[in-house]
Structure 1
Amino acid sequence: MYETLYEFTMTECYLKSVGAGIIVTGLWLFILFSIIRNYLKLKKTLQAEKIDLNQVKNDDEYKEIRLVTIIVILVTPIVMAIIISMRRDTFISYNYLYNEYKNGNCYTVEGQVENYKVYDVGNDTGGIRVIEFSVDGVLFIIDRDYEVYNEIRDSCAVKHNGQNLKITYMLEKDLDLDKYYIITFHDETHNGIVKIEEKVE
């Protein structure tokens, strides 16, 4: 009997493609709102002080913030289009990976974890924790070269040597990665885990 520790799901496809887009969009809209608010606030202040609208329009600070506001407003549709395009490509790529997995374009190994290692690469601020191990002679390296691995690494699904696992994985050579370029596999193993199950008594 096996207990599922991790499985790549359609929900994960949506979260990976939509989540980052929402964050970036929210940040840009916040910047846009702040600039427009400052512009209107300055205009109101200058009008209250000088009354004459022509004097307000000739104020250097007012002209500067008005120019910034116009530029940001004009650029906003372009930024939104870029965000939507990037998120769309990400979703298409991950959706392709999910469909290939569900259509059986994958392999399974069972056995005990061997050669288990955990180490960090990179500097102190941008370091990456890497988990490396083998099951039935197949090497797996979990790091950020393959985005699906984030959840596996963070939840520590693979813990130690001797752990009885069944791992379902995909091979880079079986996928059309020229078309779905956002999906990347580790340069050494050329495989990607889509499901981890642990044998329980």
Structure 2
Amino acid sequence: MDEAGKAAFYRAQVLALDGPGVRRMWQVVCAGDNLVGWPPGRALEYLILRAFQLEGAEVTWPYEVRRNGLLLEQIDGAVYFDGLACLVEAKAWSTPLDFSAIAKMKTQLLRRPTMTLGAVFLLGRVSDAALTLNQLLPPPNVQVWDGDELAWAMERGALREGLKRKLRHAIEQGFEDLILSQEKAE
């Protein structure tokens, strides 16, 4: 199967999922179990996009940006809702995320309209150095979701709500450091 065929397969698989189906697949992905026909990490990309879609967001599935036949970027997806536009990056790494994925997202955002956000979703955790660098390298336009935050949102069907709360915090405080799973209820 070629790459377009694989992408169509992945999309068809997740589009068949309703809310409970997304949560079941989420549990499999979190457990580190391999899904038949899915390479490592790919299921997380599509699962996050489908969860956003079920919450009412418009989704652009994983795609490539090419110019004059040259591959410039591979984007895990994009989501649009409530006037927000956000590029998505998903990492199913077991080792703590270093700053490279965040830096890559920040450079991708430099080529896009200034109102575009970035979100890096992880199954694991983020290194302290990566979090510090993300806070110190303005603007606060890349949201980092560790495994606990992502689990919090996936289990509640609250990716949209979480993204908006993290954005509001970044607007009001000037830092992208709100941890949803530790936030006190208002």
Q: What TM-score does the superposition give when structure 2 sets the normalisation length?
A: 0.24
Higher Rg of the two aligned structures: 1
* RCO higher in structure (CA 8 A, sep ≥6): 1
Q: What TM-score does the superposition give when structure 1 sets the normalisation length?
A: 0.23
Choose between structure 1 and 2: higher strand proportion: 1
